[in-house]
């Protein structure tokens, strides 16, 4: 009878441990599902932003085309008007009509025609350059916004970086001097739009790490069948105790509402998808360097 009475506590202890173990498994599964759901939502959000950006880019592209075309035509017309004015002046001067010539010179001076002629040329040039910049930015925006395009294709990693810089330039230009040291690297098969997202995350994080003014340096090179990219900043640095956590989902040191903690987690997943590695080296008060290495993939 005594043995029978002692057994229930042992069984209860075993049941308790088993329940604790199952509960832990459920907690881990819940955390994984939560992280997966957040990443899916992030992916859907990026796809929606991509569709919106593509639509905006298309709407901008049409009027920009008209502006560029009109500026080219205007440049030709102004050139002919200037030639005609110059021919008039030369003809009047050849007629030796001194009084008329003096009056025209005086009128030309009062109207500041010489200044206007030079200024018109410069204005047309600046406007044409501006239209070209808009067209380039629109093209980069359309390229960058294809987040739903999962095409695995050959791409130039240096071009991917340049496209991303143009997109995030507003985040960088007030905070840093940007140094670019691109190496001679081969084309590689990859998911270019996903790598664009990687570079965007790292560049924006680098800018946020700089409080006032600093430097961001981007380097690329090839070695031993790997394409390597480093993005370094002279920002505040990452505490040593956080270095092992920064790629975890939802981990962030930013204030509430300023970061989801998913950027570096998604970055890590994308690099792993490319069978690559991402490493981080940081020192408080001196800055942080992220190093990405992905294998060169050849073939058709």
Q: pTM of the full predicted structure?
A: 0.58
CATH level 3 topology of 149-295: Heat Shock Protein 90 (3.30.565)
What integer pLDDT is reported at residue 188 of this predicted model?
93
What integer pLDDT is reported at residue 251 of this predicted model?
59
What tokens were used for 263? Answer: 């950027």
How far apart CA 284 and CA 234 sit, in angstroms, is 10
Q: Is 257 left (phi over 0), alpha (psi -120 to 50) or beta?
A: left
Strands in 176-181's sheet, in edge-to-edge order, are 176-181, 214-223, 226-233, 287-295, 277-283
How far apart CA 243 and CA 292 sit, in angstroms, is 16
HSE (side-chain half, CA atoms, 13 Å) at 281? 6
What integer pLDDT is reported at residue 1 of this predicted model?
45
200 three-state secondary structure = helix
Domains of the chain: which residue ranges?
A: 1-148, 149-295
What integer pLDDT is reported at residue 233 of this predicted model?
93
**For residue 157, which of 50, 47, 90, 231 has the smallest C-alpha distance?**
231
Block mean pLDDT (10 aa), the chain, length 300: 52 75 76 66 58 65 78 86 83 76 81 84 84 74 58 89 86 89 93 88 90 92 94 90 77 53 79 92 91 87
Where helices occur in the chain by DSSP H, the ranges are 2-94, 98-110, 113-144, 157-172, 192-209, 263-273
Residue 231 has φ and ψ, to the nearest 5°, of -125, 110
């Amino acid at each position: 009878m005594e043995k029978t009475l002692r057994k229930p506590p042992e069984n209860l202890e075993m049941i308790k441990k088993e329940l604790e173990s199952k509960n832990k498994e459920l907690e881990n599964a819940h955390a994984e599902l939560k992280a997966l759901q957040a990443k899916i939502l992030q992916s859907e959000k990026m796809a929606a932003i991509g569709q919106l950006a593509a639509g905006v880019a298309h709407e901008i592209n049409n009027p920009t085309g008209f502006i560029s075309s009109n500026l080219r035509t205007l440049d030709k017309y102004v050139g002919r008007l200037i030639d005609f004015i110059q021919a008039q002046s030369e003809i009047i001067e050849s007629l030796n009509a001194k009084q008329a010539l003096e009056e025209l010179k005086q009128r030309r001076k009062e109207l500041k025609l010489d200044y206007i002629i030079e200024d018109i040329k410069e204005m047309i040039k600046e406007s044409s350059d501006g239209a070209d910049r808009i067209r380039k930015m629109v093209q980069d925006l359309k390229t960058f916004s294809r987040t739903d395009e999962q095409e695995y294709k050959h791409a130039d990693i240096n071009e991917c970086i340049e496209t991303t810089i143009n997109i995030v330039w507003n985040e960088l230009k007030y905070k840093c001097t940007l140094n670019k040291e691109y190496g001679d690297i081969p084309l590689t098969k990859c998911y270019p739009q996903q790598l664009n997202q990687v570079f965007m995350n790292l560049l924006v994080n680098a800018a946020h790490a700089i409080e006032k003014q600093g430097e961001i340096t981007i380097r690329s090179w090839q070695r031993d069948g790997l394409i390597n990219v480093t993005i370094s900043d002279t920002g505040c640095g990452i505490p040593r105790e956080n270095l092992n956590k920064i790629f975890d989902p939802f981990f962030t040191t930013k204030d509430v509402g300023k970061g989801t903690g998913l950027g570096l987690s998604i970055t890590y997943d994308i690099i792993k998808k490319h069978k690559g590695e991402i490493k981080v080296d940081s020192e408080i008060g001196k800055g942080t360097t992220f190093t990405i290495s992905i294998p060169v993939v050849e073939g058709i």
